[in-house]
Structure 1
């Protein structure tokens, strides 16, 4: 029986991946790198990991450390944070989970400081039993480490948890952890082959209260 739902934060609870794309573009521009319309960043792996990729992809030469590049990106993101919204249907969905007595958690590749920003803006801290952030694990997604730790903190087995993720790395991590996973696809399109179900937003998902299974 399903006993807990674990959510990724950015791109899953928050409809904000385009905001992070803009933040990365801004910092790349400061470094003299101009990006085209096809520019993308890798979802789900963390800001620092993206900068490791960008430095190789664009052959960036800079005296700025990875931590400084991460800080610049987070500052650029937070400048537009007032425009960030919850993914459609999330608030009603998480409230229903609590009414059903299902535990909830956040497992994010972002720092806990960003989780605090989320709580401050939307006032939803009371709806989550557990939060696991990047500082608590040694390996980011697609390693299953963050989901296994979250299940441990919830006092549950992995098979008792359902994960919502918007990235290939996150879906893979949940799968490797032995958890069922629902993929949230940008514009309703995705190749989440290891997800049990793929949705566009939380209005597309129903949890049957009697069996508590994916429908």
Structure 2
């Protein structure tokens, strides 16, 4: 069993990727654009300049800063009504705590949004480290956010589990050298993901069982 556990947030801890998907669609309409169905998968896990590059690729000629801010604000307004928690979140966090495995959140969201979501659901106390998209210059699929999370946990990357739901996030975990586990949400694993990650499970409960059985 590893020494650290690093969790993505949206789509992994919380059922929020659908909210962001719908927010990208609404934002495109607001900017007079035709919504591109492939955008959510391409943009999931990115942050900052990387996110704006994707916006310009799909919607050339738009103001990527305004587009980005509009989508995030739209999603944040919806999330004020409540953050839906994914099944098995508390169980796996309790399991790691009981085994003295330190846990981190590594999310491309802003620190403010991360803390709001964690506090509103009451799971903020489980995490020793929080790393946001604001803490790194390169977002996922670059490995930076997971390397920084591992460093702050005091663990070598290879001694950390990474739990992710998105393609960019899984690629980042693999590139960081972490034991990367995919829990698919909106996006199905590609061939390179299947070849590179340590395991693919339907939910966190199944992943927890595999870890406790020493499969991972």
Q: Which residue of 2 aligns with 1:144?
A: 143
Q: Secondary structure at the match of 1:162?
A: strand
Find the aligned partners of 1:142 and 1:189 in 2 and give their Cα distance: 16
1:56 is displaced (CA, Å) by: 2.8
Find the aligned partners of 1:74 and 1:187 in 2 and give their Cα distance: 18
1:159 is displaced (CA, Å) by: 1.3
Q: Secondary structure at the match of 2:76?
A: helix
Alignment of structure 1 residues 188-207 onto 2, 5 Å:
189-191=188-190, 192-193=193-194, 194-205=196-207, 206-207=209-210
1:155 is displaced (CA, Å) by: 1.1
Q: What are the Cα deviations for residues 43-68 of structure 1, in whole angstroms up to 9, with x where unaligned?
A: 2113763443233323334xx4x333
Q: Which structure: greater helix fraction?
A: 2
Q: Which residue of 2 aligns with 1:2?
A: 2
Q: Which residue of 2 aligns with 1:70?
A: 68
Find the aligned partners of 1:207 and 1:184 in 2 and give their Cα distance: 13
Q: Secondary structure at the match of 2:162?
A: strand
Find the aligned partners of 1:3 and 1:75 in 2 and give their Cα distance: 36
Structure 1's unaligned 5+ residue stretches are none
Is the 1:47–1:110 contact (alpha carbons within 8 Å) kept by the matching residues of 2?
no
Question: Which shows bigger deviation, 38-47 or 3-12?
Answer: 38-47
1:195 is displaced (CA, Å) by: 1.1
Q: Secondary structure at the match of 1:186?
A: coil
Over 4 Å off, 4+ runs: 207-211
Structure 2's unaligned 5+ residue stretches are none
Q: Which residue of 1 aligns with 2:57?
A: 56
Q: Secondary structure at the match of 2:104?
A: strand
Find the aligned partners of 1:54 and 1:138 in 2 and give their Cα distance: 18
Alignment of structure 1 residues 133-212 onto 2, 5 Å:
133-186=132-185, 189-191=188-190, 192-193=193-194, 194-205=196-207, 206-209=209-212, 211=214
Is the 1:12–1:87 contact (alpha carbons within 8 Å) kept by the matching residues of 2?
yes
Find the aligned partners of 2:26 and 2:97 in 1 and give their Cα distance: 39
| TM-score (norm. length: structure 1) | 0.87
Paired residue total? 209
Alignment of structure 1 residues 72-91 onto 2, 5 Å:
72-81=70-79, 82-91=81-90
Q: Secondary structure at the match of 1:86?
A: coil
Give the alignment's Cα RMSD to 1 decimal.
2.1
Q: Which residue of 2 aligns with 1:97?
A: 96
